[in-house]
Structure 1
Amino acid sequence: MFSNIPVALAGNPNAGKTTIFNNLTGANQRVGNYPGVTVEKRVGKARFKETTFNIVDLPGTYSLAATAEDELVARNYLLQDNPAVIINVIDASNLYRNLFLTLELLELEKPMLLVLNMIDAAQIQGTKIDITNLATTLSGLKIVTAIGSKQVGTQEILETLTTELKSSNFKIDYGCQLEKSISNIIQLLEPLVIPANIPPRWLALKLLENDAALFTLQNLPLIPENIMCEIQKLRTTLTGELAEDISLYITGKKYEFINYILQAAIETTHCHKPTLSDKIDKILTHKYIGLPIFLFFMWLLFNMVFTLGAYPQGLIEDAISLFSNQVRILIPAGELNDLIVDGIIGGVGGVIVFLPNILLLFFGIAILEGTGYMARAAFLMDRVMCLVGLHGKSFIPLLLGFGCTVPAIMGTRTLENKHDRFVTMLVSPFMSCSARLPVYTLLIGAFFSDNIAGSILFLIYIAGVLIAILLAKLFRKTLFPGKTEAFLMEMPPYRMPTYKSILLQMWERAVLYIKKAGTIILASSILIWFLTNNPTELNFSQNYDQNIQNLTLQIEQISDNSHRELLSQEINKLEQQQHAETIAQSYAGQIGKFVEPVIAPLGFNWKIGVALLSAFSAKEVLVSTLGTIYSVGNIENDSQTLALALQADPTLSPLVSLSLIFFVLLYTPCMATLAIIYRETASWKWPLFTATYSLLLAWLVSFLIFQLGSHLGF
């Protein structure tokens, strides 16, 4: 039995590579980072008969030129980790674009399997591929056809992987001048110990191209200075002979060979006719109505998040309330009971109830991505982004920010221009990540009617985008001046997303959210509980315990139900007053009172101050902190939700709620985001700048909202 055979999955963006990966691995996959970098990688196991494959889904790239971070990561993985097999997934309906990466992969001289995905789309557009001729032209390369969206070809891929796949001996004839230079460099390198997994011919080509990223390969030996001088002479001579940049010449030769492949193995049965994607794009990417349609889709998404999410959210709230009451009964009264019920269940449970909203948001985003509409969104936003000195490609990382700011900042690595990258990085935190969604949902649900809740949520997300765009304009003019680069982007055809891909994305997000609830939020809830319940020696304004005991005795002595009900309400009121005084005198109360003068002009009380400070670790912690401070369910037989507790606070109102929402939207991003900015910029300057300017901006915007609203009588 063979086990853990390493396999690399490579391909262009939009070639259906991730769909093939999901088909091969199912739910048996995990997400992590490549060693030493923040680029995300997906790893999964696939089993066929007695063989197990460890499949790594490499970042989608158009080439291995290593001009962008994801290209560099993909290339270095192939040459350093040395997978046993490369699966190259290409879009059969767009061979001219996809085969360039195929040729580059073949030059690595590794065992390889070519998967012609979306073969049905190629047939629909009248393209007939002669598989035998294509395989022969590519030096006997094994080829499998597939339709990833329909699970067609999955078994054939696994079966082919179990056969003996030989290393490629594929070579492109680059002409006598370049071939002579390649041979000379190979001879110069012969005295060096070059690892077997780095092909000498490929290495010679990269040295001729003067590939600066080549020396990031950890297993490449140091090339002596005298040899590098000889290579430089060869490079200078060759550039003169070709009268062209060597890299451009090599690229041109590859496309010449691709044209030869297409002539030899491709037959077009009829002239190109406008496809369904072309017809849809006439409407969805229209110059005037395209952007309003995109905004309408986003409005629908946020209304769905709020309205549909309310039903499962209510069920989870009821379950948590029931569980809380049962725990209170089972565990004897005391500090342990208070810690578990008020601290852990009240804090973590207050965040878990918003899981349905998170899943619905990612369901909608997965649909938009899976259909290919997100690429259109970037195209539509290009005109807007150009006005602020960026281009549509910068909008793609910003869209990722709706999920999480960390991958959004990592996504800026696809931007070649350093100024574009830094500006996009600095404004990405204003995209409302999923961590903010529980805060929005809580406050909107508590202080605004259901009829307008979805629209308010939509407007908050749009406000974040507009603020990011305006700040990008400011930063592009001041901190990072320069010309805007042209925007080129391939439009994938519209496709039906696979249910498996959507469910896997939702499952991953659910697991990550629950893990955060079980780690960061749990730890924060316990800390907040400790701060709100200590010190234990307090000076109350009245003897609550004695008064409550007296009222309890009176209830036992009277039979009039209406009178008993009034006394019970009085006891409830005294318990709430005692709880309020306890928290006010606690360490948390002291911290809140300390920051209250700064946030009072924004309409915030000291409780919100504590919640905002705690939410620096993760924005969801604001909800769990409020749940602990307000101790939802802390009074026996009281099943009130956090929303009801907030409504009962006389210092809170719809205006204060709106002020707080915008503060959460704009103020200092979480620790993970600042850490990623540091790693991406290799300087503390930019995370400190981000933390400072976003906090000041949040205070100013919230101040204007609350003060103007108050003066206008809201």
Structure 2
Amino acid sequence: MRTIALAGNPNTGKTSLFNRLTGSYEYVGNWTGVTVEKKVGVLKNQAGNLVDLPGVYSLNPLSKDEGVATYSLLHDDISLILNIVDASQLERNLYLSVQLLEYGKPFAIALNMIDVARARGIQIDHQLLAERLGCPVVPIVARTGTGCDELVNRLSSSLDQPASLVIDYGPIIEEAIQELAALFPENEQFPPSRWLAVQLLEGNQMVREMFLQYVPESTVTEQVEKAERRIELETDSKSLAHHIRTIRGEYIQSLLASCVVDTKKMEYTLTDRIDSIVTNKVLGLPLFLLFAYLIFKLTFDWLGTPLSDGLDEFITGPLTATLQGWLDAAGVTPFIEALVLQGIVAGVGGVIVFVPQIFILFFLISFIEDSGYMARVAMVMDKIMESIGLNGKAFIPMIIGFGCNVPGIMAARTIEQPKERLLTIILSPLMSCSARLTVYSLFVGAFFKQNQALIVLSLYLLGIVVALTLAKVFSSTLLKQDSSFFVIELPPYRIPQLKTLLQSTWEKGKGFVRKAGTFIFGGSVVIWLLTYAGPGGLDVPMDESFLAMIGGTLAPLLAPIGFGNWQAGAALITGFLAKEVVVSTMNIIYVAPDLDTLQGVVANFFSPLSAYSFLVFILLYVPCLATVAAIKKETNSAKWTWFSVIYALVIAYVLSFLIYQGGRLIGFH
């Protein structure tokens, strides 16, 4: 089956178009760098495989995700390139289009956001543009599907029509192109030698490495330096790359002059008006905190808690009674009945009751992502991030980590500087993921009923503050680095579509549900068996079980931070597998039939002060097993993986100690 590569700038709706054309769903976020790997789907008409490449501004890669796009052009068997272009930002988007057209493969342009362009008074003669470029140009609106069926039909008819754009870069560059192209072996498996030569002269390191496989380095260096000297001496350009960009820019301007008419100048749009407030130097951060507070208020107080209570009543009432009736009718042994009701139902059910809160939080996060506000948050945070040795782009993986630390760590691939990328990876686990939310829900409902949103917000903010503080320390000591720059495109504000929001919410939340049905299910069985058995045999008192022995080894160490009992120690150990298992473990240990009872029992083992200390420890202590595996994969270093585990444990203990002992000193209990 033929391969069609979907390429374009960030924030052009590329992943939305991928979903429209393939009928599948991939994660959609309205900020730069959301796609960090190739994703593959099959076109609805079965004409070929569609490969969703990362969003890039040019083919000269600066980061790992940009490298994926260039690598694919160099090494993959691509039948056609589908270039998605933002019609409202045509000039900037066409720079990549020209680079891709020079590649010489069959080519088509999806002119997306044509509705936004028209609303701004931008009229594009797409037929003339297609004629000038020598390729199909189809106006579409990827978010609604307008024009997508026509686009699919045009792709099928364009698969055997190679692009033929050749730009004259002037005698100096053209001479260098011919000399370099002559050095590279002709082979149908390689990209066109002219394109490779242009990319080499632009400074594309991946293309240079490909050249050096067939041409001596001294020869390549000599040819490039000769052209560089001539450009600097005989033109006004500062470098080869600058000269090539200038010629391309002039070509693009000629296209715009003939194909685009701007009927009205909108100097101050609605987006500009909103941005003047939400990105304001003074108001930007307080507004972000206010939005975060409202999100947690909706999640816990206004919507989430009533729904969780209703689900809890169903699980502990009709569902448990029905299962018990079936088990009694089947005549199972007391051991099996206890395993099912006290182990599986109590363990898995204790986590499932928090599903409404998890999904409400994901829905609200999806809303601010798709509306365009998330990119503004990164921009607001840039000054703060810069002061600690990072830039605003590093805050994006951290925000993603609020859902799950694993994709947050993977999103760090978008960061160009290696040390900055490493620093972001090892700090991302400090972001409070959705798994921790189950523990927060349990404890704030038991100890902080009147201030649930405020307590949870304080934990999220604490994670950010600790991460930023450590970033400053590490960037000044272990990971000193050169300063970097931050470029982010602010998309126009949009009203998110309900269907898209629901899909995005499900994509974020399904992993939580899947873990409840597999990982937490298995963990609950093992934990219950450890409470059921002990050195004295089976069906022993809980305090004499194997789990009590395991948790008891940690109890003396945990006493100074407020929760020196074996139950807390056992829950923390199992929490390394997945943070949700902390709640499963407590539900089994305390033999609580429902959420209200569990919260009541927990109140006998913790005070409000020790409960908050426990939550801080849960927030910061060792990442879960999946996160540790992601760190190892992304850093390819056992040293940095162990470092991320150990420093987090130390920081968690120190902060919990300060909170608990400091609280006692000033009279809190």
User: What is the one-letter code of the residue matched to 1:602?
Assistant: I
* Distance apart, 1:28 and its partner CA: 5.7
Equivalence for 1:502:
501
Residues 74 and 709 of structure 1, relative CA distance in 2, 3 Å threshold: same
Residues 1:14 and 1:339: Cα distance change in structure 2 (over 3 Å)? same
Contact persistence 1:655–1:709 (CA under 8 A): yes
2:13 is equivalent to residue 23 of structure 1: no
Provide the aligned length of Structure 1 versus Structure 2. Answer: 649
CA contact (8 A) 1:538 1:585 kept: no
Give the SS at the match of 1:63.
coil
Change (3 A) 1:214 1:282: same
**Partner residue, 1:125:** 120
Please state whether the residue corresponding to 2:534 is helix, strand or coil: coil
Who is 1:573 aligned against? none
CA distance in 1, matches of 2:38, 2:350: 32
Q: State the alpha-carbon separation in 2 of the partners of residues 351 and 664 from structure 1.
A: 16
Give the whole-Å Cα distance in 2 for the aligned partners of 1:118 and 1:691.
45
Moved more, 426-435 or 409-418: 409-418
Residue deviations 1:517-576 (CA, integer Å, cap 9, x gap): 22322222222122111137359xxxxxxxxxxxxxxxxxxxxxxxxxxxxxxxxxxxxx
Displacement of 1:435: 1.4
Indicate whether 1:623 and 2:583 are aligned: yes
1:286 to 263, 280, 284: 280
- Residue 403 of structure 1 aligns to a residue whose secondary structure is coil
- The alpha carbon displacement at 1:135 in A equals 1.1
Name the residue aligned to 1:379. Answer: 379
Report the CA distance between 1:694 and its aligned residue. Answer: 0.8
1:300 to 294, 297, 303: 294
Moved more, 675-684 or 646-655: 646-655
Work out whether residues 403 and 433 of structure 1, in 8 Å CA contact, stay in contact via their aligned partners in 2.
Answer: yes
Q: What displacement does 1:276 show?
A: 1.0
Q: In the alignment, is the contact (CA less than 8 A) between 2:37 and 2:68 conserved in 1?
A: no
Matches within 5 A, 1:348-497: 348-449=348-449, 451-497=450-496
Residues 626-655 of structure 1: per-residue CA shift (max 9 Å, x gap): 12222333xxxxxx3265355355222222
Alpha-carbon spacing, 1:398–1:335, altered in 2? closer, same or farther (3 Å): same
TM-score w.r.t. length of structure 1: 0.86
After superposition, give the CA deviation of every residue in 1:73-128 in whole Å (9 maximum; x if it has no partner): 12223443324332211111111211111112212222222111111221222221
1:211-226 aligned at under 5 Å gives the runs 211-214=204-207, 223-224=213-214, 226=216
8 Å CA contact retained: 2:347, 2:588: yes
Partner of 1:113 in structure 2? 108
Shift of 1:176: 1.7
Aligned to 1:673: 627
Please name the residue that 2:32 is paired with.
none
CA 1:702–1:153: 2 relative to 1, 3 Å: same
Separation in 2, partners of 1:282, 1:40:
34
Paired position in structure 2 for 1:512: 511
Larger mean Cα displacement after TM superposition, 269-278 or 598-607: 269-278
How far is the alpha carbon of 1:45 from its aligned partner?
3.8
How far did 1:280 drift?
A: 1.3
> Deviation digits for residues 340-387 of structure 1, max 9, x if unmatched?
222222222222222222211111111111111111111111222222
1:574-602 C-alpha deviation (Å, 9 max, x unpaired): xxxxx8x6221111110011111111222
Unaligned runs of 5+ in 1: 32-37, 540-578, 634-639
Are residue 596 (structure 1) and residue 555 (structure 2) matched? Answer: yes
**Could you tell me how far 1:273 is from its partner in structure 2?**
2.4
2: CA distance, partners of 1:644 / 1:79: 58
Residue from 1, 8, 14 that aligns with 2:5: 8
Structure 2 counterpart of 1:625, which letter? T
Provide the C-alpha distance between the structure 2 equivalents of 1:607 and 1:538, rounded to a whole number of angstroms. Answer: 20
Contact 1:29–1:43 (8 Å) recurs in 2: no
Instruction: Say which SS state the counterpart of residue 201 (structure 1) adopts.
Output: helix
Contact 2:9 2:96 survives alignment (8 Å)? yes
Q: Write out aligned runs for 1:125-204 (5 A).
A: 125-138=120-133, 140-165=134-159, 166-190=161-185, 194-196=187-189, 198-204=191-197
Residue 87 of structure 1 aligns to a residue in which SS? strand
Kindly state the Cα deviation for residue 691 of structure 1 after the two structures are TM-superposed: 0.8
2:85 aligned to 84, 87, 90, which one?
A: 90
- Which of these residues, 314, 322, 326, is aligned with residue 319 of structure 1? 314
Q: Contact 2:23–2:44 at 8 Å: present in 1 too?
A: no
- Provide the secondary structure at the position in 2 that maps to 1:364: helix
Distance in 1, matches of 2:268 and 2:282, equals 21
1:209: how far off? 4.2
Displacement of 1:664 after TM fit?
A: 0.7
Offset of 1:323 from its aligned partner?
A: 2.2
1:521 aligns with 2:494: no
Aligned partners of 2:200 and 2:208 also within 8 Å: no
Q: Displacement, 1:678?
A: 2.2
Distance 1:447 1:25, change over 3 A: farther
Structure 2 CA distance for aligned equivalents of residues 466 and 653 of structure 1: 25
| Residue 342 of structure 1: aligned partner | 342
TM-score w.r.t. length of structure 2? 0.91
Which amino acid in structure 1 is aligned with residue 452 of structure 2? A
Q: CA deviation at 1:299?
A: 0.8
Distance 2:444 2:599 in 1: 14
Q: 1:135 to 1:248 in 2, by over 3 A?
A: same
CA contact (8 A) 1:299 1:455 kept: yes
Provide, for residues 257-297 of structure 1, a one-character-per-residue CA deviation record: whole Å limited to 9, x for no partner.
22222122112223342111111111221221122111111
Structure-to-structure mapping, 1:531-610, within 5 angstroms: 531-535=530-534, 537=536, 582-604=541-563, 605-610=565-570
Which residue identity is paired with 2:574?
S
The structural deviation recorded for 1:41 is 4.3
Task: Tell me, yes or no, if the aligned pair for 2:592 and 2:598 is still in contact at 8 Å.
Answer: no
Q: Is the 8 A contact 2:15 2:26 kept in 1?
A: no
Q: Quick one: structure 1 residues 54 and 514, their matched pair in 2 at CA, closer, same or farther if it must change by over 3 Å? A: farther
Aligned AA for 1:62?
Y
CA distance in 2, matches of 1:211, 1:670: 39
Note the alpha carbon deviations across 1:208-248, whole angstroms, 9 max, x for none: 445332378xxx6973454x432222112111111243333
Measure how far apart 1:67 and its partner are: 1.6
State which structure, 1 or 2, has the greater radius of gyration over its C-alpha atoms.
1
3-state SS, counterpart of residue 578 of structure 2: coil
Distance 2:48 2:425 in 1: 37
